[in-house]
Amino acid sequence: MFLVSRKLLVSQFVYQLIPISSRMTSTILDDVEKMKINQPTQQTKKGGKDKGGKLVLKCPKGMRDYNPQQMAVREVVFDKIKKCFKKHGAVNIDTPVMELKEILTGKYGEDSKLIYELEDQGGEILALRYDLTVPFARYVAMNKVRNIKRYQIARVYRRDNPAMTKGRYREFYQCDIDFAGEYENMLTDTECVKIVCDILQELDMKEFTIKVNHRKILDGIFEYCGVPEKDFRPICSAVDKLDKESWKM
């Protein structure tokens, strides 16, 4: 039996911004003046222009820039995560940021509506990757890989309503490690928990709690409660969203 066992590690980091002084050259200032840049306001119309028709420079909704100090922190964190992945024998692969739409759609239940779809590109209907797991499954099937322990750290995209103050973006990084092949029962799941523990310790996170999200356990609970099998995926999606609720009356 050919199995693909996945565990997703999504890490959120709070960056401490270090104030720095910088000077813009007169050339840059001249260019800024010529472009008549305005600061984004609530009156800004769609298309990046204000009521006066002037260009407004801003990041797309749900996306952001990262300054050199933040990138320096990110590089250190990513290096430590990669070190832990490699210590457990994982190898790195890379996949395109775009996939054929038909490969992505139908794989995420109700969340399929959050996939960024693109216009026809030379006869191919494409979409931005929603996560790193489906592209990995495509890679394994296309290349007839029988056994691999792989990691990948890359951007993914979701057409969601962003809440940037809560760390929910439309563009963000995922740190994935996946096992494809035949392994002893629950061995890969146990190793995934150990990898998460190693990473958090390497990042000096002090005390932490690891919560295991296992869909088969949820399926067993739904079956015991008499939920029809056809409703498993929609209910799973609803359960996944519970953490976003305030639970305030």
Place of tokens 């797309």: 60
Higher-scoring residue by pLDDT: 249, 23: 249
Amino acid at 59: C
Q: Using an 8 Å Cβ cutoff, are 83 and 76 in contact?
A: no
> 99-156: per-residue pLDDT in tens?
999 899 877 766 788 899 988 778 898 999 999 999 999 999 999 999 999 999 999 9
pTM: 0.70
Residue 168, classed as helix, strand or coil, is strand
Q: Which two tokens stand for residue 95?
A: 């996949």
Mean of pLDDT values over 165-189: 90
| Spatial separation of the C-alpha atoms in residues 65 and 57, rounded to whole Å | 12
Give the pLDDT confidence of 64-95 residue by residue, as tens digits: 999 999 999 999 999 999 999 999 999 999 99
Amino acid residing at 90: A
Phi and psi, residue 38, nearest 5°? -110, 155
Q: What is residue 84's three-state secondary structure?
A: helix
Are 233 and 110 within 8 A, CB to CB?
yes
> What pLDDT sits at residue 145?
95
112 or 169: whose pLDDT is higher? Answer: 169
pLDDT band at 224 (very low <50, low <70, confident <90, very high): very high
Which residue(s) pair with 6 in the sheet?
178
First to last CA, the chain: 49
Q: Is the pLDDT of residue 24 over 90?
A: no
Compute the radius of gyration of the chain from its Cα atoms: 22
